[in-house]
Structure 1
Amino acid sequence: MAEVVSRSDVTLGNWRTAPFSRWAFQNVSEIVPSAVIRSNRLFEEAVLDLGPLAGLPVAGLDGADQPLEAFLEAGDTDGFVVMRKGRLVAEWYAGHCDPLCPHIIFSVSKSLTALLAGILIGQNRLSLSEPVVTYVPETQGSAYADATMQQLLDMEISLDFEENYLDQNGAFNRYRRATGWTPDNPADPAPDLKTFLCSIPKGKASHGLQHAYRSPNTDMAGIVLERASGVRLPTLLSGLLWQPVGASSDGMITVDRCGTSRAAGGMSVTARDLARAGDLVRRNGGGIVPAGFIADLWTGGNRDAWINGDQATLFPEGRYRNYWYASGRGELAAIGIHGQWIWIDPAHETVIVKLSSQPLPVDAALDQAIVAMLRRVSAET
């Protein structure tokens, strides 16, 4: 009988030797940086232009109207897809963007991770009322030990940790090194991702009082989903979400040195497939995600925690639930740094995806202009 190898046992130093090679030879991209050799997969719908949205006047950063195409170019948009009633009606791509190439979606990954959580809840394999430590005993002694899963998914965890995307020397840089996203520092080597997460201390406040956006929360949630299901996150995503939603292209997710997935921001998918995931939410879960879990995205969440939190200016009337933003005006959004968006407007039966390469991780003024543009496009389609 062949020896069973765990992903965490496979390293850059042993991947070409038995028994580790049995797993590694089919998963080289997890060990050695790899480029995608794309197939000649064709779009099932030949849209590839803005159609009736071409030239639509939208307000720019200066408040003056400009054609939608000019707004998209000025905002460093790579791909833009609009669906109405589940049908693709318009799309736009920058000249450098290959529509068939998966594009990183950063923290929109969090929102897809939440949909997986909803599916597992519907299968009675996960409970949001349980403490995190029930699923990941290694969190004992960390900030997560006395937090509930609901607090984890609502970003209401009190962490002694700052979400600083431009950090070069502090805790966030160490976190990035633990994920494998940043070259490590030989003088201060970072641990693997799970070990790093289990070392974060609790902040001074209690859990549940404030919306505090911290990416490590979702990486911990990804580990919880693996423990609750007994299945690695990429396999869960494929079997429970990506295949059922009808995705036409493979997605990707980054992993650390031990194979722990970056649930907080490591997914890459095409704009069209991301729109399909958004439309699943618009359709109350489409029989894939429990309808009650989807309905709670709009109405659940602690309004006081949101008001007291660090993102309240984004949607002053809004709230946050299970890694999704409710605008307070009927729309739902998934948002990632550098300009990644899913926008869901049930009133107009519209889903919009915007994938971008904005220079700054966060640009508050541009975010507000994007929200206004998304509302204008939704009303027009």
Structure 2
Amino acid sequence: MPKGLSLIFLLLLSLTAQAENWPAEQWPTAPTPAGPALQALEAYAFPPRDDTTRQGIRTDALLVIRDGQLIYERYAGPTTAETPHLTWSISKSLMATVLGVAYGEGLFKLSDPVVKFYPPLQKYPDMTMADLLHWASGLDWQEDYEYAPLKSSVVAMLYTRGHHDMAAFTAAHAEYAAPGQAFRYSSGDSNLLSAALKTIVGPSRYPDYPWTALFEPLGIRHAIWETDDTGTFVASSYAYLTARDLARVGLLMAREGRWADKQLLPKDWVAFNREPFTHYHAGQDDAVPGGQWWLNRAVEGVARPWPDAPADTFAALGHWGQAMYVIPSEQLVIVRYGDDRDGRYRHNQLLQLALKAFAGKVRP
């Protein structure tokens, strides 16, 4: 691009950023819409809470950003606006976002073999970074939780024989399919990405990298991310953020990786995150996998997983009802933390009610 045109482009980008709403230390606010639609949303998200049985829908936090402004916020249980809440598998999407910064630095390519960055995978030389991001390593992994703990790979990784070195535990699993050919949701794949990042950015940068690369540029001040005994971030499960801080990551993704006047994530990285995995088959999960994010896309002629939300909706999701929904067409970011133990919570129902309450246009 000629120098003069480049300067004009940067000026226009700066003016656009100034016209948009961006959080500084605090989120800019706008009035909360009132009325029956909001009442219906709150009745669903915040029913009477029984802490003795821990049954039913148990929302800890619900926060809504529209057009870069905080328009709704409510907390329950022990959670407050200052509480760094356990995100569970939202951590996977956070690691993908951190990796996106390293990708933008030119430190790796999606086609790079993972063994280049994590030598214990030498038995699987064809496994690529893209394969791990799609949960398609080909490793024989069992992502079972409380209902089947004895055969669960993830329970063993987090709590028993694998917890000292989670990436090594994952790498020792046998292969059930060629890398990149089949989707199998795996917390182990996410921890292999975290171990690879250590080599990608170098061991001296790695302990601070999520902060210097992502959290600090977004103004996130109170993030916590646990590591295993090798110092590797538990990318599958153990990042903690306040709802307000997590929403900053959502706004970054809603605006295609741009934060004010800086393109923090390359646009092609965000596009990769939001593109369905080619070999995913409808019905394998409750949403369609992208690059460590979940998509509301129709696959193989099957309707969208969340039919009452726009097709461009995508999300970071976690155990026990953690969710961050990003809806670019409505300029909405919705953070929902929960303590749901019995599976009654439904993404589509909350999205339907939230869109009626907060979308820019009236919905039936």
Q: 1-side partners of 2:276 and 2:117: how far apart?
A: 23
- Give the C-alpha shift of residue 189 in structure 1: 8.1
Structure 2 residue 288 is the aligned partner of structure 1 residue 307: no
- Give the C-alpha shift of residue 260 in structure 1: 2.0
Could you tell me which residue of structure 2 aligns to residue 6 of structure 1? none
Encode CA deviations 1:268-303: one digit per residue, 9 max, x unaligned: 0000000011001111111111122113333x2334
Pick the aligned partner of 1:135 from 103, 106, 117: 117
**What secondary structure is seen at the aligned counterpart in 1 of 2:294?**
strand
Deviates more, 1:96-105 or 1:68-77: 68-77
Q: 1-side partners of 2:129 and 2:209: how far apart?
A: 18
Structure 2 residue 235 is the aligned partner of structure 1 residue 235: no
- Give the C-alpha shift of residue 234 in structure 1: 4.6
Structure 2 residue 69 is the aligned partner of structure 1 residue 76: no
Unaligned segments of structure 2, at least 5 residues: 1-24, 48-56, 298-310
- Give the C-alpha shift of residue 190 in structure 1: 6.3
Q: Is the 8 A contact 2:136 2:183 kept in 1?
A: yes
Could you tell me which residue of structure 2 aligns to residue 117 of structure 1? 99
* Cα distance change on mapping 1:215 and 1:45 into 2, 3 Å: closer
Structure 2 residue 175 is the aligned partner of structure 1 residue 202: yes
* Cα distance change on mapping 1:307 and 1:56 into 2, 3 Å: farther
Q: Matches of residues 205-354 of structure 1 in structure 2 within 5 Å?
A: 205-231=177-203, 233-247=206-220, 249-286=221-258, 287-298=263-274, 300-303=275-278, 305-308=279-282, 310-311=284-285, 314-315=286-287, 319-328=288-297, 329-354=311-336
Q: 1-side partners of 2:79 and 2:162: how far apart?
A: 36
Pick the aligned partner of 1:149 from 129, 133, 138: 129
Q: Is the 8 A contact 1:212 1:309 kept in 2?
A: no
- Give the C-alpha shift of residue 95 in structure 1: 4.3
- Give the C-alpha shift of residue 206 in structure 1: 2.2
Could you tell me which residue of structure 2 aligns to residue 26 of structure 1? none
**What secondary structure is seen at the aligned counterpart in 2 of 1:244?**
helix
Encode CA deviations 1:75-110: one digit per residue, 9 max, x unaligned: 211111111111111111114212201001111111
**What secondary structure is seen at the aligned counterpart in 1 of 2:150?**
coil
* TM-score relative to the length of structure 2: 0.77
* Cα distance change on mapping 1:97 and 1:136 into 2, 3 Å: same
- Give the C-alpha shift of residue 377 in structure 1: 4.0
**What secondary structure is seen at the aligned counterpart in 1 of 2:346?**
helix
Q: Is the 8 A contact 1:108 1:265 kept in 2?
A: yes
RMSD (CA atoms): 2.5
- Give the C-alpha shift of residue 344 in structure 1: 1.1
- Give the C-alpha shift of residue 56 in structure 1: 4.2
**What secondary structure is seen at the aligned counterpart in 2 of 1:243?**
helix
Could you tell me which residue of structure 1 aligns to residue 305 of structure 2? none
* TM-score relative to the length of structure 1: 0.74
